[in-house]
């Protein structure tokens, strides 16, 4: 009978993660000749024997992340011709020895969240990796990248160098990366980039330079990146963008310029408009927008302009932007919207006008917004609203009106919104008196639509202050005079008999004063609460 081979000869995957391992004995894997995947992550391993993996010729994926490794032996990955993936992130590696990762068929190398401080002397660490497509070295203390550190990585497609402490980029650094498609350099301390640094990146489609210290950029710096589709420069200290910066980037689909200090956008800044789908200009210092600025953006779906200093909008701004689905203009200083300015935005679903200076709104604000579902008007100075203000918003389902100056509303104010299902009205100075009665009744009948948290409460009169409006009764709502020890007389009188009478004499006497207040109508009559109090009259 043929002798059965031992189990280790058939083993292809070995899972040893999360075992609190501190040491791996040399030779322990020598008999696993068919092993393809080895999981050693999430242990407490501090060092690895030099030849630990040398007898694993079929190993494809090696997971060593989240351990306590501080140094890798220079020959640790020799004789692994099929190894394509190494995860070493979240260790304590402080340096990489020359030749650590080569030669081999490695395709992915993950080194983020280690303790690397520099790569100057390690320019050969990535030698012998002709097939590698992805490298990530993020979350380290690396301050500079020497020219040559990425030498001969001709097939590299994705390079992630985010969250380091890199100060500058030198010309020649990326010259061998002719197939690079994504370059992530965000969350560093980059303040200068030499001319020509990106010139050889002909295949680059994504360039991420967000959250650095760039004060200015030149027109020619990005002129050779003709295939670029995503360009992120947000979170820098840019005060202006040079004319022509986007002239040679015909395929841009996303431009992120938010969180800078840009005060003016020139009308011809974006010459290639047809493919742009996302443009973020929020959190800048814009005070005005040029007329026709966004005309011709036929593919634009998202535009952010919030947190600027805009005081007005031109009458024609969105002339040819039919695909915008959301627009944010919140946290500006707008007091008025030109009639029809949103008219071309036929597919707009969400419009955010919160935190501006509007004191009123009108139906003309919303011309052409038949498909709008979400409107945010909170944190303005709006004092009154009429039913006709919303008559053009037949698809509106969510309306935010909190933190305005509304004291009362008519009961039919939202009758023009047949699809309204979410309404936010809290943090307004509601005056809880008879003027609010019809809207109070609407609120009681539509409580399921009101989503405010905390709920709407009275600001005045004082005796109802901070009480939930919907918890009141009609009698409480209409009793504007604070109750006294004098009994209240309630009567039902025709409207013509309601009056206030004061009787006085020249003698020292006690005179009744009668005050009558309208409460509500019922079949042509009015309920009245008559408050009788007694005051002492002085002799004349």
| Contact call for residues 359 and 335 (beta carbons, < 8 A) | yes
**How far apart (Å, rounded) are the C-alpha atoms in residues 44 and 60?**
23
Does 495 lie in the same domain as 514?
Answer: yes
Q: In angstroms, rounded to a whole number, what is the distance separating the alpha carbons of residues 539 and 232?
A: 84
**d(C-alpha 369, C-alpha 346), whole Å:** 6
Q: Which two tokens stand for residue 500?
A: 């206030």
Task: Compute CA 43 distance to the chain's CA centroid, rounded to the nearest angstrom.
Answer: 36
Q: State residue 7's pLDDT score.
A: 65
Among residues 446, 465, 480, the one where a domain terminates is 480
528-538 per-residue burial string, b: 16 or more CB within 10 A, e: under 16? bbebeeeeeee
Is 418 part of any domain? Answer: yes
Q: How many domains does the structure of the chain reveal?
A: 2
For tokens 């030499």, name the residue: 194
Burial state string for 283-292 with b = 16 or more CB within 10 A and e = fewer than 16: bbebebbeee
Residue 319's pLDDT is what? 81
Do 473 and 388 have their domain in common? yes
- DSSP for 108-149 reads EEE--SS-----GGGTTTTTT-TT--EEE--SS------TTT
Do 466 and 505 fall within a single domain? no
- Parent domain of 466: 384-480
Q: Are residues 461 and 492 in the same domain?
A: no
Residue with tokens 């679903």: 349
Length of the chain as a residue count: 540
Same structural domain, 476 and 389: yes
Instruction: Please state, in angstroms and rounded to a whole number, the distance separating the CA atoms of residues 321 and 298.
Output: 5
Q: What is the pLDDT of residue 157?
A: 98
502 in the same domain as 450:
no
Question: Of the candidates 480, 496, 520, which is a domain's last residue?
Answer: 480
Q: Are strands 525-536 and 488-494 parallel, antiparallel or unpaired?
A: antiparallel
**Cα separations in angstroms, 422 against 261, 325, 399, 450:** 36, 19, 6, 6
* Same domain flag for 474 and 495: no
- Whether 406 contacts 386, CB under 8 Å: no
Task: Please give the pLDDT value at position 500.
Answer: 42
- What predicted TM-score, i.e. pTM, was given to this entire model? 0.82
Inside any domain, residue 432? yes
Would residue 244 count as lying in a domain? no
Domain boundary (435, 462, 480) is at 480
Cα Rg of the chain (Å, integer): 36
The three-point CA angle 124-125-130 to 5° equals 85
451 and 419 within one domain: yes
Q: Are residues 426 and 490 in the same domain?
A: no
Q: Tell me if 256 is assigned to some domain.
A: no
Say if residue 392 is in the same domain as residue 458.
yes
Residue 6 confidence (pLDDT): 63
Q: What is the pLDDT of residue 321?
A: 80
Q: Give phi and psi for 471, each to the nearest 5.
A: -90, -10
pLDDT of the residue at 96:
86
Query: CB neighbours (10 Å) of residue 18?
Result: 11
pLDDT digits (tens), the chain, 540 positions: 344 556 667 899 999 999 999 999 999 999 999 999 999 999 999 999 999 999 999 999 999 999 999 999 988 998 899 999 999 999 999 988 887 887 889 999 999 999 998 876 556 778 889 999 999 999 999 999 999 899 889 999 999 999 999 999 999 999 999 999 999 999 999 999 999 999 999 999 999 999 999 999 999 999 999 999 999 999 999 999 999 999 999 999 999 999 999 999 998 999 999 999 999 999 999 999 999 999 989 999 889 999 999 999 999 998 878 889 889 999 999 999 999 899 899 889 999 999 999 999 999 999 989 999 999 999 999 999 999 999 999 999 999 999 999 999 999 999 999 999 999 999 999 999 999 999 999 999 999 999 998 889 999 999 999 999 999 999 888 875 444 333 434 444 443 343 444 434 344 344 444 333 443 333 333 333 333 333 333 333
What is the C-alpha separation between 479 and 499, in angstroms, rounded?
A: 17
Are residues 503 and 464 part of one domain? no
In this structure, is residue 309 part of a structural domain? no
Cβ atoms of residues 349 and 326 within 8 Å: yes
Bridge partners (DSSP) listed for residue 489 = 530
β-strand partners of 231: 207, 255
Helices (H) and strands (E) in the chain, counts: 2, 26
Alpha-carbon distance of 137 to 24, in angstroms, equals 26
- CATH number for 467: 3.80.10.10
- Rounded to whole angstroms, the Cα distance separating 256 from 433 reads 50
Question: Are 454 and 526 contained in the same domain?
Answer: no
Quick check: is 440 in a domain? yes
The reply to whether 495 falls in a domain is yes
Residue 325 lies in a domain: no
């Amino acid at each position: 009978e043929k002798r059965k081979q031992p189990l280790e000869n058939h083993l292809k995957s070995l899972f040893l993660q999360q075992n609190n391992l501190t040491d791996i004995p040399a030779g322990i894997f020598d008999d696993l000749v068919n092993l393809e995947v080895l999981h050693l992550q999430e242990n407490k391993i501090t060092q690895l024997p030099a030849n630990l993996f040398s007898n694993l010729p079929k190993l494809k994926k090696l997971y060593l992340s989240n351990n306590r490794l501080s140094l890798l032996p220079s020959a640790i990955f020799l004789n692994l011709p099929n190894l394509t993936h190494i995860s070493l992130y979240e260790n304590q590696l402080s340096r990489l020895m020359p030749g650590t990762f080569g030669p081999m068929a490695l395709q992915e190398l993950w080194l983020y969240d280690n303790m690397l401080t520099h790569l100057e002397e390690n320019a050969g660490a990535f030698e012998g990796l002709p097939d590698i497509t992805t490298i990530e070295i993020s979350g380290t203390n690396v301050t500079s990248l020497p020219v040559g550190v990425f030498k001969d990585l001709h097939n590299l497609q994705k390079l992630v160098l985010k969250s380091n402490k890199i100060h500058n980029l030198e010309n020649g650094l990326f010259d061998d990366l002719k197939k690079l498609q994504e370059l992530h350099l965000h969350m560093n301390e980059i303040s200068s980039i030499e001319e020509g640094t990106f010139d050889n990146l002909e295949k680059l489609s994504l360039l991420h330079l967000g959250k650095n210290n760039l004060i200015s950029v030149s027109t020619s710096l990005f002129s050779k990146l003709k295939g670029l589709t995503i360009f992120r420069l947000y979170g820098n200290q840019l005060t202006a963008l040079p004319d022509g910066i986007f002239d040679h980037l015909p395929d841009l689909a996303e431009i992120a310029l938010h969180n800078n200090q840009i005060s003016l956008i020139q009308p011809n800044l974006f010459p290639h408009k047809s493919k742009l789908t996302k443009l973020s200009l929020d959190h800048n210092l814009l005070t005005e927008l040029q007329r026709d600025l966004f005309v011709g953006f036929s593919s634009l779906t998202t535009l952010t302009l919030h947190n600027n200093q805009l005081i007005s909008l031109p009458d024609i701004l969105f002339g040819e932007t039919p695909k915008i689905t959301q627009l944010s203009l919140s946290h500006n200083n707008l007091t008025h919207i030109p009639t029809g300015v949103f008219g071309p935005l036929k597919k707009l679903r969400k419009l955010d006008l919160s935190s501006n200076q509007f004191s009123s709104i009108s139906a003309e604000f919303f011309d052409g917004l038949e498909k709008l579902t979400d409107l945010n008007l909170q944190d303005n100075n709006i004092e009154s609203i009429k039913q006709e203000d919303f008559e053009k918003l037949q698809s509106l389902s969510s309306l935010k009106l909190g933190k305005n100056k509304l004291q009362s509303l008519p009961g039919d104010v939202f009758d023009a919104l047949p699809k309204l299902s979410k309404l936010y009205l809290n943090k307004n100075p509601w005056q809880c008196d008879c003027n609010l009665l019809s809207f109070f009744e609407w609120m009681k009948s539509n409580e399921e639509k009101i989503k405010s948290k905390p709920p709407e409460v009275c600001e005045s009169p004082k005796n109802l202050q901070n009480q939930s409006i919907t918890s009141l009764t009609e009698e409480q709502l209409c009793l504007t005079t604070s109750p006294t020890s004098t009994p209240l007389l309630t009567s039902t009188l025709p409207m013509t008999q309601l009056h206030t009478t004061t009787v006085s004499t020249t003698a020292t006497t006690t005179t009744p004063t009668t005050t009558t207040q309208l409460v509500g109508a019922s079949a042509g009559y009015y309920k009245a609460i008559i408050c009788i109090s007694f005051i002492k009259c002085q002799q004349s």
